[in-house]
Structure 1
Amino acid sequence: MTLPLFCLGGKAAPEAIAADLKTLARLPERARARFWDALGPALPDPLPASVESALDTFARAFEAPRDDLARALKASRFLVREACARGLDRSRFEEDVVGLAGGPLSPEAAVIAPILLSKYDAVRSAIGAGALRDTLTDHGAVVESIEWRVDAVLASSRGDTGAAKIAVLTLGYRDGDRKDRITLHLSSEKLEELRRACERMSS
């Protein structure tokens, strides 16, 4: 099959993807109804080691032929991940799935498309958020939490401060696999400067 796919940027579908995808329509009805229970945990990259045992458990629970289930999951995982990586909208993804499943009049497409589309939007948002988080982490520390309070400094060893108001800002951050926190003290002037900077960055 040389069907160009939106999820591949217009490139042709890999060999055997269409045939593997169509095995989804052959699964028992109960297995199809719960297909995302198997597909969702298989979406991360790299593929979690637990997927193989989960596949066996799912196949037994829903009396699904393991080979058909594995092929359906492989094709679905590939298509969903590629579509999400490109931020493909729902309608374009549907066109890809329907085309691979035999076209708008195909009985397989009528079964497969509603299954994959049922959670596509939610998964696309989740994978997109994960990709953004990983992209930021690739280039340094990433802020994960912000806590603050307002204090007044009445006096110190350096003398009377006149009850100066200060902002105390604690940032939780991740740097690779390491998590840490840093606490910063901002004068009223620096707090105002930070506020203006945030406004400019948000505009």
Structure 2
Amino acid sequence: MPVMRVIPVIRPRRVRHTAAVVTLGALLMGATAGCSDARGYEVPAELCGVPADTGRLSPLLPDGDAIEQKENELGQGSRSCRLSVDSRQVLYVRADVVPADTDPVKVNEHALIGLGNPQPAGIGDDARIADKGALAVVACPADPQKRKFVLEADLATKTPEDTADRRRALTRFLEAYLPQALKKRGCTA
């Protein structure tokens, strides 16, 4: 009697192939979704009544559905503006007028250190750019007491994600926003 051998039948592994295709498809969809603009709001052209360059403000704002601004009069020439995306604060801007003999950088030294590695910047009369915020100072020439105008910007999110990009974005924002804030305050000659 002849000996029968059992020869295993090798079947293609469609289940694994199908799973791999589905996984690859999901990854590709996720990658393209990450590339799309996930903003459901328009970048504001003003921050609490002060004109803002949308191209310079945009990199500092995260994706989301809705943006909201809240302005506060803090007294004695001080104002603040809070920007929130989806009810979460993302940017705080404060404008103050301080006496001529005040050194705002020195007064805010600990806060600046808390914002991460503050470095001098060529904005106004004196400025510091940190990892999560900035401060700029300029004399107010129209003020009879020669007081100083101080502008602070604090980020509550890491937007942009890369620290060097965030610092560049903060610098560009302050360069454009400071003259507008000075004008709004009446500090221009």
Structure (1 or 2) with the greater strand fraction: 2
Structure number with bigger Rg:
2
User: Which TM-score applies when normalising by structure 2?
Assistant: 0.24
More helix, by proportion:
1
Please report the TM-score for the alignment, with normalisation by the length of structure 1. 0.23
Higher relative contact order (CA 8 A, sep 6+): 2
